[in-house]
Amino acid sequence: MNTELSRRAWLQRTGIGTAALAALLPTTVHAAETVSHFPARAKRVISLFQSGAPSQLDLFDWKPGLANRRGEELPESIRRGQRLTGMTATQTSFPVAPTKYQFAQHGESGAWISELLPHTAKVADKLSFIKTLHTEAINHDPAVTFFQTGAQLAGRPSLGAWLAYGLGSENRDLPTFVVMISQGSGNPNDQPLYDRLWGSGFLPSRYQGVKFRSVGEPVLYLSNPPGIDGIARRRFLDDLAKLNQMKLADAGDPEIATRIAQYEMAFRMQSSVPELTDLSSESSHTFEMYGPDASKPGTFAANCLLARRLVERGVRCVQLFHRGWDQHTKLPTQIVGQCRDTDQPAAALIRDLEQRGLLEDTLVFWGGEFGRTVYCQGTLTANDYGRDHHPRCFTAWMAGGGIKPGQSIGVTDDYSYNIAERPVHVHDFQATILHCLGIDHTRLTFRSQGRDFRLTDVHGDVVTELVT
């Protein structure tokens, strides 16, 4: 039997091929068609992902008692024989390395924040901190993949893809899900980032993130080829769409419908993206607020400003990845540069969104894939230390739509090594994000290979203390 002919005939008889096209073409992807399990407090998300794992001990989780324990061996009662990475498992000594930075309480909430983050400290009452995030992965790639997709192994849809699938788009001229990457001033040889981290997995590929570049055209192949004007390109796309629609009717492959929709999106982006990335209309005050790097394409500051412009235009999910936080050695030198890159722009984004009336329905969150160890990796000296990966507890913050501001959730032990009160798993964090957007994480599913999948797998509970 010719299986393709049988499949084709079945699709034509059942009408699934036509239904797939109707489900995927741009005219059906507006906000009116979205999933809503209960009233949403947020309409859109900005993720400020700090790739490489920021040290919670040097930024947010102050442990003053460690100053008197400097150089002491980490007690076995604290370590409890827990798994270590191959980078420190063979160390014969695990000396305690307290932070060299000063902490102070800020705002009415009294949030403890390091001197490395003076701008974040000024918006402390807008933020809520989770001190007891924990994850199952101990190395970067599986941990970043887990944070983005809910699974350590590649192949699952990313958070932004799930949001695009569940909520649709508010702007037919821009992608639903946009990603931007910046290189930090800390570790220049930090872990690579792969396109699959913002991929659609087994969802239709139209839901994958669109990566904006910092050099040349923001998106590849938007410009017309030499000798082709807008009219000629329009005629070409019309003819190509007819050919693709014939193939869709013949084969019934939903990815053909995706291809038709994406060609049309690319055509509309020829006008929308240049307008988006033209910052000439931004005031000098705005550039001053975001900091000296805001006018330099590809920096975290410039990407934060673009993130505000994107959500202002109805883009559903914006993810900023900032590399350079993997500080196994020379942490005091490297973390200063990383904080200089990110502190002022992240705080400015919160203030800017609030001033424009966008923060109340835009969810913003900041964090990495895991934390760092209290013990020193390598040799502890008077002015230098490094920290290894630590998945057992780390800190992130959330702000904006659906989040109660001015809170600190969870408590770690005196070494920021184990969780003492209120653990929050990465799946709980993901469930809370979806909750703010009006989605029950257990009900946003997609059937693949005979099983219903979801972002949180079979786990996750909303952090009820965080949500309004």
Quickly state the pLDDT bin for 267 (edges 50, 70, 90): low
Residue ranges and CATH numbers for the domains of the chain are: 43-223+282-453 (3.40.720)
Task: For 92-130, write each residue's pLDDT tens digit.
Answer: 999 999 999 999 999 999 999 999 999 999 999 999 999
| C-alpha distances in Å from residue 92, one per residue of 17, 89, 415 | 63, 8, 19
User: What percentage of residues in the chain have a pLDDT greater than 90?
Assistant: 76
Average pLDDT of the chain is: 90
Task: For 335-392, write each residue's pLDDT tens digit.
Answer: 999 999 999 999 999 999 999 999 999 999 999 999 999 999 999 999 999 999 999 9
Mean pLDDT of 271-284: 90
Span between the terminal Cα atoms of the chain, in Å: 58
User: What percentage of residues in the chain have a pLDDT greater than 70?
Assistant: 92
pTM for this entry: 0.89
According to the model, what pLDDT value does residue 51 have?
98
Q: Contact, 16 vs 9, CB < 8 A?
A: no
Mapped to the 3 state alphabet, what secondary structure does 327-338 carry? CCCCHHHHHHHH
- Look-up of token digits 């036509």: 18
Question: Does residue 304 surpass a pLDDT of 50?
Answer: yes
Mean pLDDT of 152-171: 95
| Half-sphere exposure for 296 (CA within 13 Å, toward CB) | 10
According to the model, what pLDDT value does residue 67 have?
96
Mapped to the 3 state alphabet, what secondary structure does the chain carry? CCHHHHHHHHHHHHCHHHHHHHHHCHHHCEHHHCCCCCCCCCCEEEEEEECCCCCHHHHCCCCHHHHHHCCCECCHHHHCCCCCCCCCCCCCCCEECCCCCCEEEECCCCEEEECCCHHHHHCHHHEEEEEEEECCCCCHHHHHHHHHHCCCCCCCCCHHHHHHHHHCECCCCCCCEEEEEEECCCCCCCCCCCHHHHCCCCCCHHHCCEECCCCCCCCCCCCCCCCCCHHHHHHHHHHHHHHHHHHHHHHCCHHHHHHHHHHHHHHHHHHHHHHHHCHHHCCHHHHHHHCCCCCCCCCHHHHHHHHHHHHHCCCCEEEEEEECCCCCCCHHHHHHHHHHHHHHHHHHHHHHHHHCCCHHHEEEEEECCCEEEEEECCCCCCCCCCEEEECCCEEEEEEECCECCCEEECEECCCCCCEEECCEEHHHHHHHHHHHCCCCCCCCCEEECCEEECCCCCCCCCCCCCEC
Question: Does residue 8 surpass a pLDDT of 60?
Answer: no
Task: For 10-35, write each residue's pLDDT tens digit.
Answer: 444 444 443 334 334 433 333 334 67
Question: Does residue 42 surpass a pLDDT of 80?
Answer: yes
Mean pLDDT of 434-445: 97
Quickly state the pLDDT bin for 265 (edges 50, 70, 90): confident
Q: Hey, what amino acid is at 151? A: A
